Structures are given as structure tokens and as C-alpha cells.
Amino acid sequence: MALLEVIDVSKIFPGVRALDQVSFTLQPGEVHALVGENGAGKSTLIKVLTGVYQPDGGDVRYLDQPVQFGTPMDAQRAGISTIYQEVNLVPLMSVAQNLFLGREPRRFGLIDRGRMEHQARAILTDYGVSADVRRPLGTLALGAQQMVALARAVMIDAKVVIMDEPTSSLEPREVQTLFGVIRDLHSRGIGIIYVSHRLDELYQICDAVTILRDGKLVHTGRLADLERIRLVSLMLGRDMAEVRREGATAFSGAATGDVEATPVLRVRELNSRHKLHDVTFDVRPGEVVGLGGLLGAGRSETIKAIGGAYHLDSGDIQVDGKDLRKPTPVRAVRFGVAVQPEDRKAEGIIPGLSVRENIALAVLPRLSRFGFVSDRKVDEVVDRYMKRLQIKASGPDQVVGDLSGGNQQKVLLARLLATGPKVLLLDEPTRGIDVGAKAEVQSLIDELAAEGLGVVLVSSDAEELVEGSDRVVVLRDGVVVGTLTGAQVTTEDLMSTIATEATREH
Amino acid sequence: MSTETVTARPVVDGARLRAWLPRYGVYAAIVLLVVYNIFFTPYFATWSNLRIQLIQVAPIVIVALGMALVIGTEGIDLSVGSVMALAAAFIPLYLGYGVVAAILVALLAGVAVGLINGVLVARVGLQPIVATLALFVGGRGLAVVISEGKLVDIRNADFLYLGSGDLFGIPVLVWIAALMVLIVAFVVRRTVFGRRLLAIGGNRPAAELAGLPVKRVLITVYVVCSVLASIAGLLSVARIQSSDASSVGLLIELSAITAVVVGGTPLTGGKVRVLGTVAGALLMQLVIATMIKHNLQPSTTEMVQAVIILIAVYVARERKTR
């Protein structure tokens, strides 16, 4: 008897098929990996299973009964518990209170605090949490909080536990404790849906795997039967033959970097707790260096850290031979580093301001005198970049929020270029923009490199990465696991490097 | 996408009306009210009445200008009334050293409060409403302590000129308020500071990543707001010819916020309507004046004000479609 069955479930948002007839089955006592890149539909599927979203088509069967959870509370009562990346408990209440919230042991109608704390201590010992259960939950380490959430989920008679990237903030020791708990749940017949991008973990504890891409099911089956390289290519790749036919990108493919030149960007041993471990690479003028890897491998973190917008514990960054110590965004811009963040809307454009204001924003001091902005100088700059990037707007005064995604991205790039950078760090420059704009942005990257800029390119689109980059530095779990150069810069090599087993040197 | 959501009847173009109302609604309301008053309120269209109205609204306009800047950064400043009280408390203490010295001390008090607010918001990372609540409470307390809780009459003629004198037939107070309006409008439109302020209010993470000195701009905004409030404070003292720290600027933060909101500046930041703010203050002043002239209870006036605020917020509400 299957524990949970998803049959042909679809979910449609305006303009997007987030889930397109996805099916999979969870057996009792099974640890089922759910994998896929950004936008593959994992979170949508989880939200359908937990009653946050209602499916637009298809059935969900639970314990052989068709079910339709109206709210997350319904799903929880039925025995489907979810542990999110961000712990969803009450940080200011004590550990014990969190554990028993809503089901406190009572005596004479009052909460029996002594018994509650005693029980909490006993339960949490099994989860490797030895902290004082009277302390507020928020004072515990994130890993310990996650264990409390897990213990709580299991306590409320969960039959299905969904874990969304549970190890992303855990220490290696805590990961082992978590795996111990998972094995215990497994032996008790509880079904687990395990979302993670860490392949080593998946192969350690998962029995089955379901792979989603662009809202569609691309594979489901036993994990042991699936080679790593195959798993990675299913997650990332389209069919190679199909790609060649279509001619995937607008990159010229000609190598532009001068191998002899001194690097314009030198990155040495960047470390950030849990996220980056000794990340080291160079970018020479005119070179496009791709950062490869799966989601959560540390690509965006690396880029943001260089741009001063992500915390670093240690590491050295040199731009054009000068030490960029303690980078902050202000200092990074001054050193000639320009960062195009992954999330254009949240961190890139300023939607309420005009194209003009957005482009000029970062260089206002240069376009003004004694603090007074010179309209003439602003117009010159704005005009130059609107032409160069072929920004399609009704005029420089149009509000950026009203433009298409592709044009918003161009406005953002125009702002970066206006600062006259030496190094351009691009995080998913073509995500969510239409095909035409995509080709334009890709050719622009080529052009800029040809003009002597050092470019770092992050893209989840394997073809874009391979065709756009002269070299690809491959990251996994925050560690550089390989560099592809010359003839190695192919999607096949990229995937096999991502898929190689970790040797855990750190 | 957003245009499809508005299905207007053929007579009125709903979408256009909705775009027009938050921007020009306040001016239309003023025109309506003025026309009504000209016909139905005796002695409304007289020079002396206009004079009184302008003198009364001037301090509110000055405070509201600073408030508009703070709101443009997605913040709020509750301490403006207390800053006025502090300025009022310092004036009689330092008038002995001359008018200029007294004014400088009052302005310095504003700078100090603004720095505290700005540092709490920008560096410590407190919510603006909490950060400025501290000095909303503490500032007036301090002002009462400084003035020893006494009402002090001011007799320095030079200083009183600011509050009751005329220049070219128009009260000095009104000239000063108009000057402030011009300066703030210029700052918002034409200076690096003004543009950065709007960018920070529009999308703070983006502004940070673009390399803008976000903290410095935020601190400056709070300082400017407080300095404007202290100017309003000393002008109020000059107008009523006495300093009473326990009553100067009482509840003015609410009038200022009302003026800003009614004037069409969104509380979500990224936009500052300077002229709208002035119009918002004028509208509220007109409403109160009209009510008083028609012998309505103050409580009725307050309820009407509440309705106007609700309408303004409703009209300006963000479309959630994007």
C-alpha cells in the first residue's frame, strides 16, 4: 500500500505551468529524494502536498484515500509534517513549550510544566539535543532548532515528513545526527520526502528519487539504479542532440581571454561558515569565467562576497592588483567590481523610479557638482547606455517597473556599466527574460569581455554557461571541485565534475 | 495586466481616474472647499482670514516637509513634536546671548535628536517607528525638565518679528515656510542626496548593492527632519510669544503625517510629493477652519479628518497586481 500518491497533478499560475501532470509515489518507510533546479516545481509540489496550494488538476491520494487539504493545518492533522529551511517555531518560547505547543501535558487543567520539561528532555536526547529545554528556542543553534522541529513533527504522529533542505545550515556532526534520526523514522515506517541539492547526502540516505525540471516529471525510480552523472544531466540538461539542433545561445564561442595576462580579479581562499570553503580562482582581463555547480553550491554566495554583500570569515580578494580588504558594496564599486544580483526585482532595479534614475543611480556623484545633479551629464550617460544596450522603453522617463523583464535586466546592466567596472559579476543574467533579450544580453557579455573586462558568469543553464565561458570553475557545497579549461568546457565535462563523489577533504 | 483589472463603466474611465486621484485629488478637494467657503462662509474671502489660515498652517507645513522626506525612505518620525518642544525650551534660556545664538542652539537640539534617530534606524537597525518613539516620549520630558515646567513669556522684539512680523505685506512666518518648501522641492528633485533618498525608499537592498552610502543618507534624512521640526518649534514660540514645552507641537506628528499622506506620498517609500504635502496641510487646515466657522464641535472635526485620511489612503493604495 502506498503511503502518498501524487497522480498527474498540475498547478498553473498566471503565465506559468508550475506543475505539469506530475506523478510520484511515496512508500511507507521510504526516504524519497525530490530534486530539481530553481523553478523546477519542487516547492510548488510540496505546497500542494501540505495544503498551501490547491492543485488545478490531478489527484493526491493519502493512505489510499483521495484527499484535498484546504489548509496546512488539515495536512498536519492528517499526519503530513513539513520541516522548512527556516525553522517555523516560536523563537521566544522555551524549547519544551515549542515541542508541546498545543498538546501540553496538563494537571487539574493547568500545564504541568515539570512533566513537560522532563518529557522534552527525554525526547530531545534521542535527537542529540542536550540544551536546557527551559531556554528560549531562539537561543539554540540553528541545527538544534531544526532537531526540535523534527522531534515535534514526529511527535504529532506524522506518517509523512517533508524536509526542505534540512542540512543547509547544519554542521557535519549535526548532519550525522539528522541521518540517524531519519534512519530511525525509516525503520518505523514513516515516509520521508527529502529535498536537497547535496548529491552525497542523497546517495547516503535516500531510497528513491523523483526529478523535476520546468514543472515536469523527468524521472522517478530507485536512486541506487541511477548513476550520478545521469542524475545531474536529468536535473540540468536538455537532450544534447536537441540543443545542438537549436543552437542554444548567442555566444560566439571564441575564447577571448589572454592566458598570459595578469588577473584583473584574484580570489583566494574565501571562507564563509557552512557556505564557502577556500574558494580560489582568477579572472584575467577579457576572460569570461563561469561558476558551475548545482543550486546551493555557493555560486551566488561567492559573487556576493566579492561584491561585499555577503559575510566572509576569511579570504583575500585583489582587483587589478589592489587588495580589496573587508569588502562592502561601496568599496567594491569603488574598486571596479559590479555585481548583477540573481534576484533582479528584489535586489537589482528600483521599480518605482524611471529608467533614467535607475541607470544614473550608482554614478550620481560623477554626474553632479557640489551635490547638484547635472541633467545634461545624466542625459548623456543614459542616452549612451540606452542605445548601446538597445533598451526598449517609451523614453528615459518611463518607470522601470513597467518594462519587460529583459529590458529591466538591461537597465540594471546599464547601471553597472556606467560605473566603469573592471570586473563584472553576473548572477543568472538571462533568467526570466524573453528569447530576444536573452540573445542580446549574451552577445553583450561577449562584447564586454572583448573590450577587456573580466567577467564572472553564473548560470543554471548548462549550455549558456559552457558556451559563454572561457573557463568554468565548478563548485560543490562551497568547495571548488574542478576547473574546466579549453576543450573540457562542455556540458558533459561540467556534469561529470559536478557528479564526482566528494572526498570530503574539509 | 493591471489595466485589465479595472473594468470601468463607459461614462468614467476608472483606470485613469485611479491614476489621477492620488496625484491631484488633494488639489481638487481644496478647490471644492474654497468654492464652498466663498459662497457659504461669511468673511471667508478676506485678507485677514487668509492671513490667519496661512500663519496657522506654516509650522505644520515645515514639519510635514521633513516628515515627507522620512516617509520617502519608508520610515516615519514620531519625535517631531518633541523636537519642537525642545527648541521651545532652549529659546528663552539662550535669548540672553542674542537671537542668533538662541536659534542656533534650538537648531542644534534638532541636529542632536536627528542624529540619535538616524543612528538608531540606520546603524542599530531599529524600526523607525520604535526608534523615534523613544524621543517622542523622552524628548518632551527633557524639554519640560529644561524649562522647569514653566511657561515663559518672550519679549525680545527681534525674535518675535519671526512670528508676527510682516515682509512685503506677508507674514515672515509664511515667507520662511515657502522658502523651506522651495528648498526641499529642489533637494528632492535636483540633488544627489534627494535621488539617493528615493532610491533607498524604493528598494533598499538594491540601493545597498549599487554601492550607495545608505546609512549616511538615512541619518541625514532624520537630521533634516528634526532640524525642520526645530525651525517649526522656534517659529511657534515666536508666534505665540511664549515658550511652553508641555504644549508646543503637541500631536503635530499626526498632522504632519496626515498632510504627507493626504498629499499623495505613499507610506511605502520611494516617492516624495513636496507640493502635494503642502496641499495636504492646506486642505486639513481648510477643513478645520470651515468646521469652526460653521460652529461644529471639535469632535466632529476630528471625525471628518479621520474620514479624509481614510479616503486618501484608500485612493493611494498599492495595486497588488504587479
Please give the Cα distance from A95 to B61 (Å, whole number): 52
Best mutation target, B192, B196, B204, to test chain A (most A CBs within 10 A):
B192
Q: Does B19 touch chain A (CB under 8 A)?
A: no
Q: Does A330 touch chain B (CB under 8 A)?
A: yes
Best mutation target, B73, B208, B209, to test chain A (most A CBs within 10 A):
B209
- B8 vs A60: which has the higher pLDDT: A60
Strand (E) positions, A197-331?
208-213, 216-222, 265-272, 276-283, 288-292, 314-319, 322-323
Please tell me the predicted confidence (pLDDT) of residue A434. 74
Please give the Cα distance from A344 to A415 (Å, whole number): 13
Cell of A52: 498551501
Tell me if A209 sits within 8 A of A202, measured CB to CB. Answer: yes
Strand (E) positions, chain B?
152-153, 166-167, 170-171, 242-243
Residues 6+ apart with CB under 8 A from A98: A89, A90, A137, A148, A152
Please tell me the predicted confidence (pLDDT) of residue B8. 40
Please give the Cα distance from A424 to A415 (Å, whole number): 12
Please tell me the predicted confidence (pLDDT) of residue A259. 59
- Residue in A309, A330, A401 closest to B213 by CB: A330
Terminal-to-terminal C-alpha distance of chain A: 43
CATH superfamily of A243-336+422-506: P-loop containing nucleotide triphosphate hydrolases (3.40.50.300)
Q: Does A329 touch chain B (CB under 8 A)?
A: yes
pLDDT exceeds 70 at position B262: yes
Inter-chain residue contact A353 with B192, CB threshold 8 Å: no
Please give the Cα distance from B159 to B92 (Å, whole number): 10
Best mutation target, A333, A350, A367, A403, to test chain B (most B CBs within 10 A):
A350
Tell me if A389 sits within 8 A of A413, measured CB to CB. Answer: yes
Please give the Cα distance from B30 to B224 (Å, whole number): 28
Q: Does B202 touch chain A (CB under 8 A)?
A: yes
Please give the Cα distance from B7 to A416 (Å, whole number): 40
Closest-CA residue of B relative to A347 is B206
Please tell me the predicted confidence (pLDDT) of residue A402. 83
The residues spanned by each domain of chain A are: 4-236, 243-336+422-506, 348-420
Inter-chain residue contact B203 with A362, CB threshold 8 Å: no
Please list every residue in chain A whose beta carbon sits closer than 8 Å to the beta carbon of residue B191: 368, 371-373
Please give the Cα distance from A73 to A80 (Å, whole number): 9
- Residue in A352, A371, A419 closest to B193 by CB: A371
DSSP-based three-state secondary structure for A166: coil
Please give the Cα distance from A172 to B314 (Å, whole number): 52
Residue segments in chain A with a per-residue pLDDT below the cut of 70: 15, 38-39, 85-87, 169, 237-250, 252-260, 501-506
Please give the Cα distance from B186 to B184 (Å, whole number): 5
Residues B21-39 have a mean pLDDT of 84
DSSP string covering B72-104: HTT---TTHHHHHHHHHHHHHHHGGG-HHHHHH
Q: Element (H or E) spanning A356, and its range?
A: helix A355-360
A/B interface, count of CB pairs below 8 Å: 80
Please tell me the predicted confidence (pLDDT) of residue A506. 43
Closest-CA residue of A relative to B199 is A350
How far, in Å, are A261, A335, A464, B181, B247 from residue A457 at the CA level?
Answer: 19, 19, 9, 47, 61
Q: Does B208 touch chain A (CB under 8 A)?
A: yes
pLDDT exceeds 60 at position B12: no
Q: What percent of chain B has pLDDT over 90?
A: 41
Inter-chain residue contact A346 with B207, CB threshold 8 Å: no
Tell me if B216 sits within 8 A of B121, measured CB to CB. Answer: no
Amino acid, res. A124 = L
- B99 vs B119: which has the higher pLDDT: B119
Q: Taking the CB of residue A384, how many other CB atoms lie within 10 A of it?
A: 14
DSSP-based three-state secondary structure for A65: strand
Class of the A4-236 domain? alpha beta
DSSP-based three-state secondary structure for A40: coil
Closest-CA residue of B relative to A360 is B195
Scanning B156-273, the segments in alpha helix (DSSP H) are: 157-164, 172-190, 192-202, 204-209, 214-240, 252-262
Q: Does B198 touch chain A (CB under 8 A)?
A: yes
pLDDT confidence tier of residue B21, bands split at 50, 70 and 90: confident
How far, in Å, are A126, A263, A302, A406, A473 from residue A339 at the CA level?
Answer: 45, 18, 11, 17, 18
Fold identical between A4-236 and A243-336+422-506? yes
Residue ranges of A 391-420 with Cβ closer than 8 A to chain B: 401, 415, 419
Please give the Cα distance from A36 to A215 (Å, whole number): 9
Give the side-chain half-sphere CA count within 13 A for A125: 5
Please tell me the predicted confidence (pLDDT) of residue A243. 43
Please list every residue in chain A whose beta carbon sits closer than 8 Å to the beta carbon of residue B270: 350, 352-353
Please tell me the predicted confidence (pLDDT) of residue A248. 52
Please list every residue in chain A whose beta carbon sits closer than 8 Å to the beta carbon of residue B213: 330
Tell me if A196 sits within 8 A of A33, measured CB to CB. Answer: yes
Please list every residue in chain A whose beta carbon sits closer than 8 Å to the beta carbon of residue B316: none
Inter-chain residue contact A350 with B213, CB threshold 8 Å: no
Please list every residue in chain B whose beta carbon sits closer than 8 Å to the beta carbon of residue A332: 211
Inter-chain residue contact A350 with B207, CB threshold 8 Å: yes
Above 0.90 for ipTM, yes or no?
Answer: no
Helix (H), strand (E) counts: chain B? 14, 4
pLDDT confidence tier of residue B121, bands split at 50, 70 and 90: very high
Whole-number mean pLDDT of chain B?
Answer: 86
- Residue in B203, B210, B271 closest to A362 by CB: B210
Please list every residue in chain B whose beta carbon sits closer than 8 Å to the beta carbon of residue A352: 198, 202-203, 270-271
Inter-chain residue contact B209 with A329, CB threshold 8 Å: yes
How far, in Å, are A33, A107, A296, A434, A478 from residue A198 at the CA level?
Answer: 11, 46, 8, 31, 11
Please tell me the predicted confidence (pLDDT) of residue A504. 47
